[in-house]
Amino acid sequence: MGIARFATLSDGSFLAPLNSFKRHEQALAKAQRAMSRKEKFSNNWKKAKARVQKIHARIGNVRRDYLHKAMTTISQNHAMVCIEDLQVRNLSKSAAASVETPGKKRQGQIRPE
């Protein structure tokens, strides 16, 4: 799971991300601007705040719905599902090096100080 692809399957196929925030970004910005112009804790501010909260809730609901539908499809079409949580930090660990122990990908680039 990541930013460029929502999920990548072992056969090479992948699910594209939904980007629910980008779809609602303009409406959210408009509602937040309207809320910022209201006097804090007035009734109109509370109504504007409710609009902002409603948009945030909708974004969360869309994400949750997409996740449930994607996982349902995967679980119905595959006998076994394994999930791996990759850390970017661990992927680039071999690049970390020192003068005594050069990293796999940085050999020849280390300058002794």
* 26-72 pLDDT tens trace: 999 999 999 999 999 999 999 999 999 999 999 999 999 999 999 99
Burial of 68 by CB count in 10 Å (0-12 exposed, 13-18 middle, 19+ buried)? exposed
User: Do 98 and 71 have their domain in common?
Assistant: no
State the residue range of the domain holding 113: 89-113
98: left (phi > 0), else alpha (psi -120 to 50), else beta?
A: beta
pLDDT in tens, 2-13: 567 888 888 888
User: Do 68 and 102 have their domain in common?
Assistant: no
User: Do 39 and 93 have their domain in common?
Assistant: no
Residue 58 within a domain: yes
Residue 2 within a domain: no
CA–CA gap between residue 112 and residue 101 (Å, rounded): 12
Tokens of 44: 């109109």
pLDDT in tens, 84-109: 777 766 666 555 566 666 555 555 55
User: Do 75 and 109 have their domain in common?
Assistant: no
Q: How many separate domains does the chain show? A: 2
Q: Which pTM does this prediction carry?
A: 0.67
